[in-house]
Structure 1
Amino acid sequence: MLALVALGCAAPGTRDGDSAPLPSASVSAPTEKQVVAEPAGPGDAPPNHADNNGWKQRHELTADEQRTGDRLAGRIRPKLAALRKAGDFAPASTRQALLDLGIRADSVEVTAMRPAIGEETPSPGAVYAVRFPDAGCIVGDVRPDRLLVEVTGAAAEFGCLEPFSH
């Protein structure tokens, strides 16, 4: 019985009575080694994630711009630390503290904290940005649990503060 099953499963041209010969299985050896590179997968991001987020790319600061930003951040930090210590997290107070440092009004942007996802009321605090020549920003926030002062480059599309989006 096993012999009948084996004969019945043989490839065409291998059993008695098959009239067509098997096709030639000659394979020519490749002249060059072919390497097929598999593209790296996007991981958890969609395939065009980098293109879609290119507008967020910030200017890379030169050494001089970084030093300028660090000096300005050194002036900003104590002023905002005093606000935080006093428990004053109002955006208007944050803006005024930055203006009191002699920073031009058109270089300062301050907004209130946004509510967390699923929350209706934002936590106390202010988000701020100070633009400095030519392409730098001091960005951060003042809130009960922290003071953030970060030197970074400006983005061509939006400047210092990234617009809110979901």
Structure 2
Amino acid sequence: MPPTTNQAAPCQVEENVPQPVQRFAAQPTNGGGPDIAPHHVENNGWKQRKPLNAEATAKGRDTIARVSPILKRVCETGDFSVDTTRKALAELRPQVEQPYPDQRFLGFTITLDGGTCVLGDLKPGLVRIFLDGTNGEGSCYTPKTH
């Protein structure tokens, strides 16, 4: 379990919200592009996030406005435990993980209806929140790969 501290520390919150897409652009099919291994694109296509329309972006912004002060308070307590973060965001049913158990760093994923994902992480002094679409498998959570 990572160390905690009882001292409140200021935390900065960074929010990354992309502009909504108006329509989807066709991908070039002329065969041009980088020199990559055969089937690289199709093997890794599931990792590509889908763009968000205006409605999904608005829903994500509303959620970010709701969770940002909550996560800032969690960060400022110095308690970077999975349980504390999960409890703070309980009504949104987040997936919270600590990829590096020896470090004070957490990642979280919140899945909203309609393919909107609120993703982010917390570490001492910083909360980062990102808005994105689902991956190619229709999930907000992308597991670690080798």
Q: TM-score w.r.t. structure 2 length?
A: 0.71
Matched, 1:110 2:101: no
Structure holding more strand per residue: 2
* Structure 1 runs, 4 residues or longer, greater than 3 Å off: 37-41
- The one-letter code of the counterpart of 2:117 is C
- The one-letter code of the counterpart of 2:96 is V
What's the C-alpha RMSD, in Å, of the aligned pairs? 2.1
Contact 1:91 1:125 in 2 (8 A): no
CA distance in 2, matches of 1:124, 1:113: 10
Higher relative contact order (CA 8 A, sep 6+): 2
Aligned residue number for residue 163 of structure 1: 143
Aligned residue number for residue 55 of structure 1: 46
Deviations 1:26-53 (A, max 9, x none): xxxxxxxxxxx995442xx434332221
Contact 2:45 2:136 in 1 (8 A): no
- The one-letter code of the counterpart of 1:123 is Q
Aligned residue number for residue 23 of structure 1: none
> Once the two structures are aligned, what percentage of the paired residues are identical?
27
Offset at residue 140 of structure 1 (A):
0.6
Change (3 A) 1:67 1:40: closer
CA distance in 1, matches of 2:70, 2:103: 21
Change (3 A) 1:122 1:51: farther
CA distance in 2, matches of 1:133, 1:38: 36
SS at match of 1:163: coil
Offset at residue 60 of structure 1 (A):
1.6
- The one-letter code of the counterpart of 1:96 is K
Matched, 1:65 2:56: yes
Q: TM-score w.r.t. structure 1 length?
A: 0.63
Aligned residue number for residue 65 of structure 2: 74
Offset at residue 153 of structure 1 (A):
0.7
Out of 127, 131, 138, the residue aligned to residue 107 of structure 2 is 127
Aligned length: 117
Aligned residue number for residue 87 of structure 1: 78
CA distance in 1, matches of 2:133, 2:31: 35
Out of 88, 107, 124, the residue aligned to residue 97 of structure 1 is 88
